Amino acid sequence: MKFLSVKSVIIRNSVRNIIMESKFIINGEKPLSGSIKVKGAKNAALKVFPLALMTDEPIEVVNVPDIEDCHRAQEMLAALGHSVKKLGIDKMQIQRQNRTCLNLSAELVNKFRASIMFVGPLLATCGEVYFPHPGGCVIGAGTRPIDMFLDGFDKMGAKLEVLENKYRLTAKKLKGANIFFPKITVTGTESLMTTACLAQGETILENCAMEPEISALAGLLNRMGAKIEGAGTPTIKIAGVKKLNGGEYQIIPDRIETGTFAILAAASNSGAIVIEDCEPKHLGSLWALFDKIGVNYELDKSSVKILPTDKILATDVTTHEYPGFATDLQSPFTVLMTQAEGVSLIHETIYDRRLLFADLLTQMGANIIMADPHRVVVNGPAKLYGRKLISPDLRAGMALVIAALIAKGKTEIGNIYQIERGYEKLAERLKNIGADIEKI
């Protein structure tokens, strides 16, 4: 059993500085084959940890990915007076001890956007919370906005003050409200759905995101005593309850990791790769694209096999909210299109800066024309060559890893802290399928 103490937080921070200096060295064009296991979903795990603020009882979480963003969330819980015990390789127990503060640490909040999930639970249980603007990947215009969260808390009766470098929200008692999201927001839906569980009366959320992580979160909240209906559809109804109990939660497999490995296998096109411990049904839009471009694949209940194919065809793709094609798979798919025959148009609709990484692929030899920040035209196939690169963010960094694995020669990727925010023991797992990758 392992406790996360303040001392371990300090050690982790200094370890993190070293990690930020780490690099991947990849020698490309090695044939890849074998099997690779998918870990628990980052974007599901990050939404579950803050629920520990809403109950006196322990919460046990299984299939927790050992990634940097989850470490930051655990440090946040420790800083807010919770014990975080490791019960096994990927199992954790979290329990409230003493609520020590209502301030979300700027250092931690700056590191991951999902830190905003801690705001609602603190507001609902303590009536007050201070927090800076959340960080995370720099993929949206300026700092990624939180207006829909703040509007939602306002409708639930909270008062907002903007202080120097931080927000303060106060509410004696949150009340149920009718909230229509002007734009579909994943974490916004999760945050207001969670907070509404402890509000007085009924909350109706409309134009909600429908990602599988939202239904999974609602499932856990209902097992803890909440009354949520409609999660996974555009309208969610929440009847507020007085208290929540503890609960146990099995984190769903990471659909973005599954899709990323499938795209890697298709781009490498060198041997059969089986992706295990996944939920193929969460990736319907990717399989539809694979049908169109000629990727050879077989789906099973919890695995996917990608087999070599004669030729991959170019296609246009537009990112969309779930169940459409995920923006988090756009950068790996762009790499795949550099190997496809023909011209493809990649249209990124969710974020303003997520396609800028394509310039790095051009440096590797890809033939890509940027039409505007939301659209690039890829002419394929193109031979890629190893280069010295810096990972701009999590998903673009992973796309560079894929590009390096299929490129001729050696690639050095710096700033891999960004990649390790979301992929556990990546080098080790890729080595097991034949990749020549070292972390130094």
Q: Residue 280 or residue 422: which is nearer to ligand EPU going by CB?
A: 422
For residue 59, how many C-alpha atoms fall within 13 Å in the half-sphere facing its CB? 32
Assess 187 for contact with ligand EPU (CB under 6 A): yes
The CA–CA distances, whole Å, from 394 to 5, 92, 399 equal 27, 24, 9
Q: How many residues does the chain have?
A: 440
Q: How far apart are CA 113 and CA 105, in angstroms?
A: 13
Q: Residue 137 or residue 426: which is nearer to ligand EPU going by CB?
A: 137
Q: How far apart are CA 128 and CA 222, in angstroms?
A: 25
C-beta separation of 244 from 224 below 8 A:
yes
Of the residues 36, 41, 46, 252, which one makes contact with ligand EPU according to CB under 6 A = 46
Alpha helices in 246-357 (DSSP H): 255-268, 284-293, 330-338
> Which one, of 352, 374, 350, lies nearest residue 183 by Cα?
350
Of the residues 118, 130, 131, 351, which one makes contact with ligand EPU according to CB under 6 A = 351
C-beta separation of 183 from 148 below 8 A:
yes
Of the residues 2, 159, 172, 183, which one makes contact with ligand EPU according to CB under 6 A = 183
Q: Residue 152 or residue 246: which is nearer to ligand EPU going by CB?
A: 152
Kindly state the tokens that stand for 410.
Answer: 């050696």
Q: Residue 314 or residue 376: which is nearer to ligand EPU going by CB?
A: 376
Closest distance between ligand EPU and the C-beta of residue 192, in Å?
A: 10
Closest distance between ligand EPU and the C-beta of residue 298, in Å?
A: 27
Task: Give the 3-state secondary structure of residue 371.
Answer: strand
Candidate segments 80-88, 136-144, 291-299, 401-409, binder of ligand EPU by CB under 6 A? 136-144
By CB under 6 A, what part of segment 393-412 binds ligand EPU? 394-395
Assess 43 for contact with ligand EPU (CB under 6 A): yes
C-beta separation of 35 from 438 below 8 A:
no
Assess 426 for contact with ligand EPU (CB under 6 A): no
Closest distance between ligand EPU and the C-beta of residue 313, in Å?
A: 26
Task: Give the 3-state secondary structure of residue 85.
Answer: strand
Bond prior to 323 in cis (omega within 30° of 0): yes
Candidate segments 145-153, 225-233, 303-311, 335-343, binder of ligand EPU by CB under 6 A? 145-153
Helix (H) or strand (E) holding 162: strand 159-163
Alpha helices in 310-372 (DSSP H): 330-338, 358-363
Q: Which of 137, 197, 208, 278 is catalytic?
A: 137
**DSSP letter (8 states) at residue 231:** B
Closest distance between ligand EPU and the C-beta of residue 14, in Å?
A: 26
Of the residues 145, 323, 381, 414, which one makes contact with ligand EPU according to CB under 6 A = 145
Q: Residue 23 or residue 113: which is nearer to ligand EPU going by CB?
A: 113
Assess 261 for contact with ligand EPU (CB under 6 A): no
Closest distance between ligand EPU and the C-beta of residue 306, in Å?
A: 22
Q: Assign residue 426 a region (left: φ > 0; alpha: ψ between -120 and 50; beta: otherwise).
A: alpha
Assess 185 for contact with ligand EPU (CB under 6 A): yes
C-beta separation of 395 from 408 below 8 A:
no
Assess 137 for contact with ligand EPU (CB under 6 A): yes
Is 137 assigned a catalytic role?
A: yes
C-beta separation of 64 from 109 below 8 A:
no
Assess 285 for contact with ligand EPU (CB under 6 A): no
Q: How far apart are CA 133 and CA 380, in angstroms?
A: 41
Residue nearest to ligand EPU (CB): 187
Assess 234 for contact with ligand EPU (CB under 6 A): no
> Which residues would be at the binding site for ligand EPU (CB under 6 A)?
43, 46, 113-114, 137, 140, 144-149, 183, 185-188, 209, 327-328, 350-351, 394-395, 422
As annotated, the active-site residues are 137
